[in-house]
Every structure is written in structure tokens, then in C-alpha cells.
Amino acid sequence: MPAYSAAKAALNAFILCFREQLKSTNVKVVELSPPAVQSELHDYMTPEVGRKIGMPLDQFIDEAFAGLQAGKDQVVVGSIADEKTFYEVLNNRRAMFETLSKLLGSV
């Protein structure tokens, strides 16, 4: 689990940097954070058990597409905490990144 968590954190940091680098272009960087989704990924537990893990695929697609249609640049589907707390953490992280980016940009 530590390697998985570190990889997710690194990807989020990369996306923040990439978005900052491209902010003056017409490229929009969108981060889609999916939950566990019912798929063949967990079939090693047997399909009967593994395919019950996570959010149904149709529900995931609907929620992800709704976030994309709303024009969000960060779409989180099915968080492990309540949505308000989760977005509060994400927004605080983004604000700290933007402050640091401005400081480094003025050096």
C-alpha cells in the first residue's frame, strides 16, 4: 500500500506542476481520480467475489462524465471520506502549491 499511495501522490504533484506549466496555453490538464471500480482487476479472488469490489462501472462513468461536462479540472469520483472534507484537503493542497509556485516564479 505505501508504494501505491506514494505513486498516487506523485502523480497528483506531477499534474499540479504540468497544469501550472501549461496555464498560459490553450491546453487544459484534467485530473480524474477514480475509486475502485467493478472490473476484472480483482478476478484473482474469483470473478464472483472480485467483481463485487468497488463502484459499478456505469455509475463511475456517469459521475466522471458529469464532472468533465461541468468543466472541472479535478474530478474525484467516489472518495473514501465525505466529499466536503476530501475537497477541502485537495483545495488546501492546491492553494499551497500555487503559493509555492508564485514564490519560485519570482526568484
Return per-residue pLDDT of the chain as tens, 107 residues. Answer: 789 889 988 999 999 999 999 999 999 999 998 888 888 888 888 878 777 888 999 999 999 999 999 999 999 898 666 778 878 888 898 899 889 888 887 65
Half-sphere exposure of 44 (CA within 13 A, CB side): 2
- Cα–Cα distance for residue pair 60/9, rounded to 1 Å: 21
Q: Which residues are CB-neighbours of 16 under 8 A, at least 6 positions away?
A: 94, 97
